[in-house]
């Protein structure tokens, strides 16, 4: 969890650099059209205004630095599923506590590993800005799929 204003500033600058590239060159027109109703762009000032940034990393393999100076990798299984479930539980807990957050996934996210000094086997999974909602916060009204659209009964 990051609360240091200087580190949050570094994260914002790096995230905006990647997001600017995404919005100007990487994202296809269809993606940009789908994002348009939300009014988002590459500016991510919320990364500095929130009290906390939670950076969730996935660890695809263990690095064993044994005392005999040999390092080896030990693969972890079902990493994406496990981290996804854990992140979902975290989001539910934050919501239940009355906190506001969103899932932010600037791509690529390797800058988070660098800024936070994490090991090479740790890959950023999601960035969660967390705090109480601002008085002027607007939550988009999104339609929900019906049960028939998400479930097949047999």
| pLDDT one-digit tens code per residue, 8-20 | 999 999 999 999 9
> 3-state secondary structure string, 58-113?
EECEEEEECCCCCEEEEECCCHHHHHHHHHHHHHHHHHHCCCEECCECCCCCHHHH
| Residue 46 contacts residue 12 (beta carbons within 8 Å) | no
**C-alpha distances out from residue 82 to 60, 67, 122, Å:** 11, 30, 14
The pLDDT of 107-120, averaged and rounded, is 94
| Mean predicted confidence (pLDDT) in 89-118 | 94
- pLDDT tens readout for residues 70-102: 667 888 999 999 999 999 999 999 999 999 998
Which strand ranges, in their side-by-side order, compose the sheet holding 100-101?
A: 52-59, 122-131, 100-101
Flag whether pLDDT at 67 surpasses 60. Answer: no
Q: Is 27 helix (H, G, I), strand (E, B) or coil?
A: coil
Between the ranges 28-37, 61-70, 83-92, where is the mean pLDDT highest?
A: 83-92
Peptide bond connecting 108 to the previous residue in cis, omega within 30 degrees of 0: yes
Report the pLDDT averaged over residues 25-36: 92
Domains of the chain are: 5-150 (3.40.109.10)
Collect all residues with Cβ–Cβ distance below 8 Å to 87 and sequence separation of at least 6.
56, 103, 125, 126, 128
Whole-angstrom Cα distance, residue 20 to residue 43?
A: 8
Residue 69: what pLDDT? 54
* Confidence grade of residue 143 (pLDDT, cut at 50, 70, 90): confident
């Amino acid at each position: 969890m990051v609360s240091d204003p200087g580190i949050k500033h570094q994260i914002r600058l790096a995230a905006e650099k990647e997001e600017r590239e995404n919005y100007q060159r990487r994202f296809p027109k269809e993606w940009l059209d789908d994002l348009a109703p939300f009014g988002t762009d590459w500016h991510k000032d919320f990364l500095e205004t929130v009290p906390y940034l939670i950076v969730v990393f996935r660890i695809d393999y263990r690095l064993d630095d044994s005392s005999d100076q040999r390092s080896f990798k030990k693969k972890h299984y079902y990493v994406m599923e496990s981290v996804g479930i854990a992140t979902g539980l975290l989001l539910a807990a934050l919501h239940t506590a009355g906190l506001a957050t969103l899932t932010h996934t600037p791509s690529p996210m390797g800058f988070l590993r660098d800024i936070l000094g994490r090991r090479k086997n740790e890959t950023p999974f999601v960035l969660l800005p967390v705090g109480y909602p601002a008085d002027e916060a607007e939550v988009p009204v999104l339609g929900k799929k019906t049960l028939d659209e998400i479930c097949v009964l047999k």
